[in-house]
Copies of this chain bind each other. A is one copy, B any other.
Amino acid sequence: MTVIDPLHLRFTLDEVLTLADVLALPAFATHDRESIEQILATAEALATDRFLPSYRQLDDNEPRMENGRVVLPAEIAHALDAFREAGFYGMTADPEHGGLALPRTVANAAFLWFQAANVSAANYALLTMSAAELLAQHGSPEQQRRYMLPMVEGRFLGTMALSEPQAGSSLGDIATTARPLGDGRYKLRGTKMWISGGEHDMSENIVHLMLARIEGAPKGVKGISLFIVPRKRLDADGRPGPWNNVVLAGLNHKMGQRGTVNTVLNVGEGGDTIGEIVGGPGQGLACMFTMMNEARVGVSMGAVAHASAGFLYSLAYARERVQGRSPDQKDPATPQVSLVQHADVRRMLLQQKAAAEGGMAFGLYLATLGDIKKGELTQDARTDAGLLLDFLTPVFKAWVSEESLGANWNAIQILGGAGYTRDHPLELHYRDNRLNPIHEGTNGIQALDLVGRKAVMENGRALALFLAASRETTRQASAVQGWSEGAELARLLEEALARVEQAFAVIATLRRAQGATVAMARARHAMSLVGLAAFGWTWLRIGLAAARRQAHGEERGYPPEFLAGKLHTCRHVLRERVPETRHLLDLIAAESDCAFTVRDEWLG
């Protein structure tokens, strides 16, 4: 079983996103298309050989706590060793830090293989790479040398230590304290909850990036600072030494993603836990957002990976398994047909194809925006790419995580009872994937971020950039020679974009007239509306790329049926999904909002 289709990945990179333009940027000058192909081939091979085989084992044999320590199944280290030996922890890191300086577009494409093969193991790497990136942006040179470099090398692993038992979504209410020791170091005290990879012996050290409140700091998010809290303290040469009193208080036992150990940690209990500050006092959340935004894209790339694996698996099954006959065939003596011949099975396959391939293009486009933000020559282009990335990040996180879970729902359904058993990987993808609408900010939080912040920042410039970029695609789609349907599909997207504008206008009016609480009650519907529009935009871009290749696609290795599949799925998304935006706008524009007006005492 393959979990990612390499040809679809290549089409996404070369035709939809035009990776060539990214590679032309000076920041990525050390790479060319051929070296990239090597990276992707290596990722495919390692994911297939070292990650995929233990996917089920990590669920059957989850990490456990013994004498205050975490015991991980050996398969995790076996997988991550291969990742480290390939230098993949440093995929996007700078060469002077020992990194490969790959465009994020490529790094995320390569990492998708690992997420699709075995997300529970891949998570350790995702957290570590994000933690290293945070220190690359906000750490001091010494912090980079002592903590970041070992993460780039994969010797130390990283965590995000944000939540606490009383403060999950509401980070402003965290209570862990930091007492200054006067030399830039702090003594930390408190309890951290939901810390993935929070304790184990697998690596030389663990670098917790921990939010805490310096004693006397103001309440709320402004009083939050960020600290490096290592599991073992480093000596002057950076060698891990004595234990730093990060105490394992317990494990959370999850429905899925069980191989990623999830911990409750106490710090400063029974002994000193020493941390050093990153950025300045009160800068904690701003610094942490570097990592959170990466993680938000990262987890929904994981959702895409699940959609892809589920799609390919259920497609193979549907082609092989025979069952039933067409409704026009009443003769029971005729042979049964394959599942893929049934219209409803094809419907469920088409939804999955749209989610998997569209999600891949959507997510890797965000990575491309990151590359442009980093490497583009003009400041204006960098700023705009950053704004569009900020706007689309919560949309990708929330909308794609739900659509991909729906894809896994359909994958199970195609297999029927077999799909519900643990003999097939689909139920595990479905369970694993259920986490993605929750972690790194629930989808409700993403909706508030989109509507309350991203859509209105810089006077709505990010929203305007989204609309302008989408309309540029509709203009192009209407003008492709030989793609007669392009104009009609573009018109359907135009309608959805107009609805996006109307929705935000309604919300702005509500906000002025009745305040943020009333206005924000429409945020979840607005998120779905923008998500559908962005999905439609993505698929129109895919359709456009396929239409442009139709005359000469085979020269680049795309068979006619491959391109026909892209065009047909584009047709499906624009004609059959994007029009759902009409109902969503109705909900947003309706005078009353039952979820908002319902009173607690009416609920039951």
Known A-B contacts A5-B604, A575-B594, A594-B571; the reply to A515 vs B431 at CB < 8 A is no
Contact A600 B319 (CB under 8 A): yes
Cross-interface CB contact of A447 among B169, B252, B344, B421, cutoff 8 Å: B344
Q: What number of copies of this chain does the assembly contain?
A: 2
Contact A253 B422 (CB under 8 A): yes
Contact B579 A255 (CB under 8 A): no
Nearest B residue to A405, CB-CB: B409
Contact B568 A590 (CB under 8 A): no
Contact B583 A253 (CB under 8 A): no
Collect the chain B residues with CB atoms within 8 Å of residue A350's CB: 594-595, 598, 603
Stretch among A85-93, A133-141, A518-526 lining the B interface:
A518-526
Contact A444 B413 (CB under 8 A): yes
A245 vs chain B, min Cβ distance (A)? 25
Name the residue in A312, A341, A444 with the highest tally of chain B Cβ atoms < 10 Å from its Cβ.
A444
Collect the chain B residues with CB atoms within 8 Å of residue A5's CB: 604
A604 to B521, CA, bound (A): 40
Collect the chain B residues with CB atoms within 8 Å of residue A343's CB: 517, 520-521, 523, 593, 595-596
Binary per-residue interface labels of chain A (509-550) against chain B in the complex, 1 for a CB within 8 Å, 0 otherwise? 000000111011101100000000000000000000000000
Collect the chain B residues with CB atoms within 8 Å of residue A349's CB: 598, 603
Nearest B residue to A439, CB-CB: B417
Q: At the interface, yes or no: A416 with Cβ under 8 Å from chain B?
A: yes
Range for the number of chain A residues in contact with chain B? 35 or more
Contact A169 B413 (CB under 8 A): no
Collect the chain B residues with CB atoms within 8 Å of residue A416's CB: 168-169, 438, 442
Stretch among A16-24, A203-211, A332-340 lining the B interface:
A332-340
Interface residues of A in 576-604 (CB under 8 A from B): 576, 579-580, 582-583, 586-587, 590, 592-604
Collect the chain B residues with CB atoms within 8 Å of residue A431's CB: 255, 431
Cross-interface CB contact of A340 among B252, B312, B412, B600, cutoff 8 Å: B600
Binary per-residue interface labels of chain A (173-193) against chain B in the complex, 1 for a CB within 8 Å, 0 otherwise? 100000000000000000001
Collect the chain B residues with CB atoms within 8 Å of residue A345's CB: 444
Q: At the interface, yes or no: A105 with Cβ under 8 Å from chain B?
A: no
Cross-interface CB contact of A328 among B169, B333, B344, B515, cutoff 8 Å: B515
Contact B604 A444 (CB under 8 A): no
Q: At the interface, yes or no: A423 with Cβ under 8 Å from chain B?
A: yes
Q: At the interface, yes or no: A73 with Cβ under 8 Å from chain B?
A: no
A422 vs chain B, min Cβ distance (A)? 5
Contact A575 B590 (CB under 8 A): yes
A255 to B59, CA, bound (A): 12
Known A-B contacts A332-B219, A600-B340; the reply to A170 vs B324 at CB < 8 A is yes
Interface residues of A in 220-236 (CB under 8 A from B): 220-221
Contact B444 A344 (CB under 8 A): yes
Q: At the interface, yes or no: A375 with Cβ under 8 Å from chain B?
A: no
Nearest B residue to A452, CB-CB: B327
Contact A413 B437 (CB under 8 A): yes
Q: At the interface, yes or no: A26 with Cβ under 8 Å from chain B?
A: no
Contact B422 A221 (CB under 8 A): no
Binary per-residue interface labels of chain A (396-422) against chain B in the complex, 1 for a CB within 8 Å, 0 otherwise? 000000000000010011001101111
Nearest B residue to A324, CB-CB: B170
Q: At the interface, yes or no: A65 with Cβ under 8 Å from chain B?
A: no
Cross-interface CB contact of A438 among B218, B327, B420, B593, cutoff 8 Å: B420
Collect the chain B residues with CB atoms within 8 Å of residue A471's CB: none
Collect the chain B residues with CB atoms within 8 Å of residue A561's CB: 599, 601-602
Q: At the interface, yes or no: A474 with Cβ under 8 Å from chain B?
A: no
Q: At the interface, yes or no: A172 with Cβ under 8 Å from chain B?
A: yes
Name the residue in A315, A583, A602 with the highest tally of chain B Cβ atoms < 10 Å from its Cβ.
A602
Contact B565 A604 (CB under 8 A): yes
A561 to B328, CA, bound (A): 54
Q: At the interface, yes or no: A69 with Cβ under 8 Å from chain B?
A: no
Cross-interface CB contact of A517 among B328, B452, B517, B586, cutoff 8 Å: B328
Collect the chain B residues with CB atoms within 8 Å of residue A576's CB: 587, 590, 594
5 cross-chain pairs, A with B, having the tightest CB-CB distances, nearest first:
A220-B332, A347-B595, A565-B602, A343-B521, A572-B594
6 A/B residue pairs, CB under 8 Å, sorted by A: A254-B422, A255-B427, A350-B603, A413-B437, A416-B438, A569-B598
